[in-house]
Amino acid sequence: MRAFIQVAILAAGVGKRMRSALPKVLHALGGRPLLAHVLATVRTLEPRSICVVYADDAVRKSFPDPDLKWALQNPPNGTGDALAQALRVLESDGVTLVLFGADPLASAATLGKVIDCARAGALSLLTIELDDPTGYGRIVRDERGKVVSIAEEKDASPGQRAIREINTGVMAAPTDAFRRWLAKIDNKNSSGEYYLTDVIALAVAEGAAVATTRAENVMETLGVNSKRDLAELERLYQRAQAGALLDAGVTLADPARIDVRGKLTCGSDVSIDVGCIFEGEVWLADNVVVGAHCVIRNVRVGGGTFVAPFSHIEDAIIGARCRIGPYARIRPGTLLGDEVHIGNFVEIKASAIGVRSKVNHLAYVGDATVGRDVNVGAGTITCNYDGANKHRTVIEDDVHIGSDTQLIAPVTVRQGATIGAGATISKEVPADQLTISQNKQITIPGWKRPRKG
């Protein structure tokens, strides 16, 4: 029987170099906290238990997930002490995989190889060679190539600092072995902390096997210790997202100028211009074109729709063959039918717009139900808020609304009605008739415009 897997995620680091009150593991990469990336990968491994070691309550409050166990490390006293705290709440058997909450991009495939070595009884390490290993613990090997220890940067000799193979921090071992080794480590080092890496020398002294797995690429091994690290990792992450989109057949005007902060799913022949940001869950159907500098969050867009530049769409469903923007804002709760036109400087909020209807210029439609083949003139607004409550406007099929009309909700405009420009509508508009609301134009003879003295 294969040994059970359990995971300890060390997330109690203070992160002084971040220069932020926000705990390091809660800083965002690709729109999600660093720790969220680690948890998402870990869950694909189907571990028996996941324990997060924390120091700041904000971390625990940010992840109320029922499958997590928590271990408090206060004060932070090194990575060895952090794992010891986790093992207090984890089971005593099986294999324990150790990860860091601010090292977000190790793949499940790579971690699986690390786990397999530990299941065979070894202390299993994930390593990589770097051109510049500054700041990392070095993998020290003997003349036969066997791992004998890890030399931390602060305590390494000049010869050890020249070693390019580094410890990523990821390791796994039989849980009972971890417990045995942790009981023997001390804090007699330059930091006065309990280093988890000290278990390597103890394993070697016992004659235990120490196995290494090379990471597939350097991005899997990168962690965040500063805002500079975070910014550099963000660019690497986004370039990887862009590469995946290109491989899937998406046309990107510039792969270096797109940000995917969530999950973006695209059909065939989708085209995305520069500077676009996709957040949450976004689904673009076949032949969708997204113009430059759009922000799209939690949206489904139907086939053949064109989103013109500088449009913002959030928590909405857009039908097929629509045209949105430029400079349109589609707010949460909006549903656009097929072939709808939403034009420049138009805002739609919590409204359903029927097939082939048009709201093309400088209009606000909020809390409304709009039927098919409706034309809403420039400057039209639904007055949906009375200062205390929101009210709904209903516009039935084939209605034409003249420019600069105010619809004071709750109000209904019946099918086929026409409303003249400049009207203020507060009562039901009957079907198939023209309704106007206009003041008589008057010219005042002899009136003089005031002038500055």
- Given a contact cutoff of 8 angstroms between Cβ atoms, the answer to whether 156 and 138 are in contact is yes
Q: Which of 37, 293, 361, 391 is catalytic?
A: 361
- Given a contact cutoff of 8 angstroms between Cβ atoms, the answer to whether 276 and 290 are in contact is yes
Long-range pairs for 400-407: beta carbons < 8 A, 24 or more residues apart: 400/374, 400/375, 401/374, 401/375, 401/376, 401/377, 402/377, 403/377, 403/378, 403/379, 404/377, 404/378, 404/379, 404/380, 405/377, 405/379, 405/380, 405/381, 406/380, 406/381, 407/380, 407/381, 407/382, 407/383
Decide if 293 is catalytic. Answer: no
Q: Which residues pair with 280 in a beta bridge?
A: 262
- Given a contact cutoff of 8 angstroms between Cβ atoms, the answer to whether 357 and 372 are in contact is yes
Please state whether the peptide bond connecting residue 326 to the residue before it is cis, i.e. omega within 30 degrees of 0.
Answer: yes
* Maximum Cα interatomic distance, the chain, rounded to a whole number of Å: 108
- Can you tell me the distance from the alpha carbon of 321 to that of 301, in angstroms, rounded to the nearest whole number? 9
- Given a contact cutoff of 8 angstroms between Cβ atoms, the answer to whether 297 and 315 are in contact is yes
The closest of 406, 392, 29, 409 to 237, measured between CA atoms, is 29
The closest of 315, 326, 245, 250 to 282, measured between CA atoms, is 315
Q: Which residues pair with 366 in a beta bridge?
A: 349
- Given a contact cutoff of 8 angstroms between Cβ atoms, the answer to whether 378 and 363 are in contact is yes
Which distant-in-sequence residues (6+ apart) come within 8 Å of 252 by Cβ?
242, 245, 246, 258, 272
Q: How many CB atoms lie under 10 A from the CB of residue 443?
A: 5
Active-site annotation, residues: 361
